Amino acid sequence: MPEADRVAIAAPPFPSQTGPRWYWPRSVYIHIPFCAHHCCYCDFAVLTGAGRLVEDYLDALEGEMALWLAEPVSVETLYIGGGTPSWLPLPSLRRLLQMVARFFLFDQAKVEYTVEANPTDVTEDKLSLLREYGVNRLSLGVQSFRPETLRFLERHHNFSDIQRAVTSALQHFSDVSLDLIFAVPGQTLADWHADLRCALGLGVHHLSTYNLTIEPKTALWARVRRGQVQPCDEETERLLYAHTIAYLEAQGWEHYEISNFARPGHASRHNQVYWAGEAYFAFGLGASRYVAGTRSSNTRSLRLYLSQLRKGQLPIAESETLTPRLRAAETAALQLRRRRGIHRDAFREQTGFDLDELLGSVLRKHRGRGWLEDAGPIVRLSREGIFYADVVCADCVACGADEHQNGATN
Ligand code: SF4
């Protein structure tokens, strides 16, 4: 169905509510789509060369928040991601932070408030501004320290940009995280090890490590199809991932989710909301939310996003209300991404389902393969199972999908 025919479901403005954490959000994600350059591998909702539209976008974002929220709501974690939020000029960044402060109430002493940044955007002015509005965590899109890898990924920073950005960020924030990418064509184990060592040497608190995936319709995908780029083979990818886990754990880091590692006490609370299967608000181009048992996503078309909001309509492209059974199965799949896995009692309390009655056949199958550990109240991926997480999680969701009725897709 053309996207134009699928927008705008009716959704009431929500008064400030409470309810179980799976139902009513205590977290919010805000998407800022602007980037200086569209990197070859990226399939996020991003806009380049669109500086003139920043204020229109912020108008629309404000309108979207006002449509969803009848009054300010209390949250425990906030995450402004993108795109590149740090790319915003200082006055626009201030406007965004003021808008967030109007719609969301939080305790400055307890909140986790993250903003994503590119190393070359990090200036004292911007960091001071972020801190003034309560931001206490910076997530830097570093990807690599090696010039060759950065060139391949079309990232326009270098080692000294990263070093300068991290040093400044550590002076302002209690948590600094880096994104790194492995399985880049041509990257060796020694190259990847050097990246990990550099990251640790900078004294950051958290690392998100992603394998490079060739997403359809990206510039990189086109190059792979033309035979100009040979993707990293599965064996190398597995070797690099296994090394990540072994090396970081040996350095005392906690591997708390498939792609995420933290120094003790620095796991991201915001991201753990997603993996617990809990509710969260989301605003902005292409943003996806989970509120009151319904998952919905905004359009990725800027034209539609702006025009719908000018008309006072929500720019929702897809919406799906989960049956209790599918919600429980999805919760299991998400929680298996955590190294601590699923706690049976907590799962029953959150979903109303007994894990073994719901997913007994899936659990038996993957225990038999050695991919799941089942110790008393806890079920989690085994060391081997981590490499097959996608298969196990997809089986969980498929098992819950049989009674699912698709919700309204407008
Ligand atoms: S900077 Fe990040 S969000 Fe922007 S295009 Fe590159 S990878 Fe995508």
Tens-digit pLDDT profile for residues 339-365? 999 999 999 999 999 999 999 999 999
Beta pairing, strands 372-375 & 104-105: unpaired
Which of 144, 36, 131 is CA-nearest to residue 82? 36
* Cβ atoms 358, 348 nearer than 8 A: no
Domain match, 94 and 237 both: yes
Percentage, residues of the chain above pLDDT 70: 94
Distance 381 CA to ligand 1 centre (A): 31
Beta pairing, strands 206-211 & 260-262: antiparallel
Q: Given the CA of residue 143, which atom of ligand 1 is nearest to it?
A: 7
Whether 229 is covered by a domain: the verdict is yes
Whether 288 is covered by a domain: the verdict is no
Domain match, 272 and 352 both: no
Angle of CA points 117, 259, 148, to nearest 5°: 60
Q: What is the sign of the dihedral through the CA atoms of 94, 26, 272 and 363?
A: negative
Report the DSSP beta bridge partners of residue 281. 28
Whether 57 is covered by a domain: the verdict is yes
202 lines ligand 1 (CB under 6 A): no
**H-assigned helices in 78-205:** 90-103, 124-132, 147-153, 159-172, 189-201
Q: Which residues contact 397 (CB under 8 A, 6 or more apart)?
A: 326, 329, 330, 333
* CA 89/CA 94 separation, integer angstroms: 9
Distance 43 CA to ligand 1 centre (A): 8
Residue 11: HSE in the Cβ half-sphere, 13 Å Cα cutoff: 33
Report the DSSP beta bridge partners of residue 57. none
141 lines ligand 1 (CB under 6 A): yes
* Cβ atoms 121, 86 nearer than 8 A: yes
For residue 91, give the CATH number of its domain.
3.80.30.20
* Cβ atoms 296, 288 nearer than 8 A: yes
Q: How many CB atoms lie within 10 A of CB 73?
A: 22
Domain match, 108 and 253 both: yes
Residue whose CB lies within 8 A of the most ligand 1 atoms, among 84, 115, 122, 150, for a mutation test: 84
Residue whose CB lies within 8 A of the most ligand 1 atoms, among 32, 40, 44, 153, for a mutation test: 44
pLDDT tens, position by position, 204-218: 999 999 999 999 999
Q: What is the mean pLDDT of residues 384-404?
A: 88
- Check residue 16 and give its pLDDT: 65
Q: Which residues contact 281 (CB under 8 A, 6 or more apart)?
A: 25, 27, 28, 29, 68, 73, 75, 289, 291
Whether 113 is covered by a domain: the verdict is yes
Whether 306 is covered by a domain: the verdict is no
| Number of domains composing the chain | 2
Whether 315 is covered by a domain: the verdict is no
pLDDT tens, position by position, 62-93: 999 999 998 999 999 999 999 999 999 999 99
- Check residue 11 and give its pLDDT: 55
Confidence class for position 5, pLDDT limits 50, 70, 90? very low
The domain in which residue 104 lies consists of 19-276
